[in-house]
Structure 1
Amino acid sequence: MSYADRLFIDMCQDILDHGYSTEGEKVRPKWEDGSYAYTIKRFGVVNRYDLSKEFPALTLRRTAFKSAVDEILWIWQKKSNNIHELKSHIWDEWADADGSIGKAYGYQLGVKHQYKEGMMDQVDRVLFDLKENPYSRRIMTNIYVHQDLHEMNLYPCAYSMTFNVTDDKLNAVLNQRSQDILTANNWNVVQYAVLLHMIAQVSGLKAGELVHVIADAHIYDRHIPLVKELISRETYPAPDFWINPEIKNFYDFTTDDVRLDNYQTGPQIKNIPVAV
């Protein structure tokens, strides 16, 4: 069994066994039929993944690796907020007629700020610091910008990254205010694991730990039987991760420069209801 599978199974079982139900409370999300979408949740879940040992893709079911990488590059590399620059349709519900999701996600990473060294956006600042001052304790990003929240079609879920170099390994803390465990957990883990590998490589470092902090880790009421079935499945060894060693510039990466080999999984879960 892969470590990612073991951690995911234990996390889901803990939420199911010890989580708090929001049924009857004032909640925002609704199902397509208009009824309120309640959850079972746990507060303050912290998961650690050592990327030097294995790549954390679930084998219980397949995580759409190519689409996940495309989205993380859309946010961090293209710094885009327009779904027309994204190949998948995961943001369609939140886009306006022009395809914009407002001043959210990639938009915030592309905003230039004044530093002592000059004008840089948050991504370029991270890359600069990892090259010039890698042992700094101030290497971080934040896209939860309060002054722009009213112009975001969805408030950021995964909103900050804190990078830390220890013994020539690049580690990072991903902070997430809220997460739909069934639909988004491993998707986000895979994305930020890839991002960490990419930034480590172009910074002359090795990938270390990804620490994922989730403030509100929840399973929606209509997802409970799906999660129970999922975590009862057979598991397989973790896949092998490949990253193109020739890429030395973060902005040169494409979805073809990373892949999962020997990725054996259980069947996909189809027609998962999504609360909006």
Structure 2
Amino acid sequence: MSYADQVFAAMCRDIIENGVSTEGEKVRPIWEDTGESAYTIKRFGVVNRYDLRKEFPALTLRKTALKSAFDEILWIWQKKSNNVHELNSHIWDAWADEGGSIGKAYGYQLGVKHVYREGMMDQVDRVLFDLKNNPYSRRIMTNIYVHADLHEMSLYPCAYSMTFNVTQEKGKERLTLNAVLNQRSQDVLTANNWNVCQYSLLLMMMAQVCGMEAGELLHVIADAHIYDRHVPMVEELISRESHPAPKVWLNPEIQDFYQFTVEDLYVKDYVTGPQIKNIPVAV
């Protein structure tokens, strides 16, 4: 059984059984089809931990589109783009303007250069610099929730911060790279495993180009919620048969973060249940 399946099922049961309903509250999201308020069942402060040295945390209850997830993380962290025309999927189309821009959000923020004692760098290059030159620093992190620019973002960042932490494991020569992903809000059915997989891949990329081993991803979600219309779908999903986790790896020849492409992601033995279709979308 995939460990990611176990974590996901336990989280969903906890939200459904012990969560708090937002019905009747003033909420921002509306249903795309009716325009009515989209209410959720929510849990505050969900924390999940995944050890990439043991297995890749992809759900097998249903398929997660790993290539598309990888493409989006490259779009944000490598291309540092805020234009959907540079993204191969259409997941951001609803928030893009007529030119394809989502405003000063996500990749835009990672591409802004800042003045450091070592020179001008953006946040991604700062992480890479520190991992290679000062790996034991407790200051290796990114933050794209920039209050000064929120009014120019089509959507406030959900996954907004990554904190990287390096450890020297007993008996191992290579350093281990771990990370904390902080997320203010998450639609569990549509986005949970997508985010887990794409930030696991980011951790793997960073570790590889810095000569380290990818270790643990700690995922912290302030508001983990299931939309009321999604509850029956989630209940059916977590009742399914689980399968062993797939084998996932990156092209070992790539040693430059900016040289990775979607074709450098390899997936083997990914057996899953059927995809859930026609999921109602809250926007």
- Shorter-chain TM-score: what band? over 0.9
Question: Percent of aligned positions with the same letter in both sequences?
Answer: 79
1:26 is matched with: 26
Aligned residues: 276
Q: How does 1:25-174 map to 2 (within 5 A)?
A: 25-32=25-32, 33-167=34-168, 168-174=175-181
TM-score, normalising length from structure 2? 0.97
Matched-pair contact (CA < 8 Å) for 2:251–2:266: no
1:273 is matched with: 280
1:224 is matched with: 231
Select which of 239, 243, 253 maps to 2:246: 239
Offset of residue 39 of structure 1 = 0.2
Offset of residue 192 of structure 1 = 0.3
Moved over 6 A (4+): none
Select which of 200, 204, 215 maps to 1:197: 204
Matched-pair contact (CA < 8 Å) for 2:185–2:222: yes
Q: Summarize deviations over 1:60-83 as a string: whole Å, max 9, x none.
A: 000011110000000000000000
Q: 3-state DSSP class of the match of 2:280?
A: coil
Select which of 171, 175, 182 maps to 1:175: 182
Q: Counterpart amino acid of 2:3?
A: Y
Offset of residue 219 of structure 1 = 0.1
2:171 is matched with: none
Q: 3-state DSSP class of the match of 1:200?
A: helix
Task: State how far apart, in whole Å, the 2-side matches of 1:147 and 1:257 are.
Answer: 36
Segments of structure 2 that go 5 or more residues without pairing to the other structure are 169-174
Task: State how far apart, in whole Å, the 2-side matches of 1:259 and 1:178 are.
Answer: 30
Q: Summarize deviations over 1:69-107 as a string: whole Å, max 9, x none.
A: 000000000000000000000000000000000000000
Offset of residue 259 of structure 1 = 2.0
1:2 is matched with: 2
Q: Counterpart amino acid of 2:126?
A: R
Q: Summarize deviations over 1:127-155 as a string: whole Å, max 9, x none.
A: 00000000100000000000000000000
Task: State how far apart, in whole Å, the 2-side matches of 1:196 and 1:256 are.
Answer: 17
Matched-pair contact (CA < 8 Å) for 2:247–2:270: yes
Q: 3-state DSSP class of the match of 1:56?
A: coil
Q: Counterpart amino acid of 2:105?
A: A
Segments of structure 1 that go 5 or more residues without pairing to the other structure are none
TM-score, normalising length from structure 1? 1.00
Task: State how far apart, in whole Å, the 1-side matches of 2:3 and 2:53 are.
Answer: 12
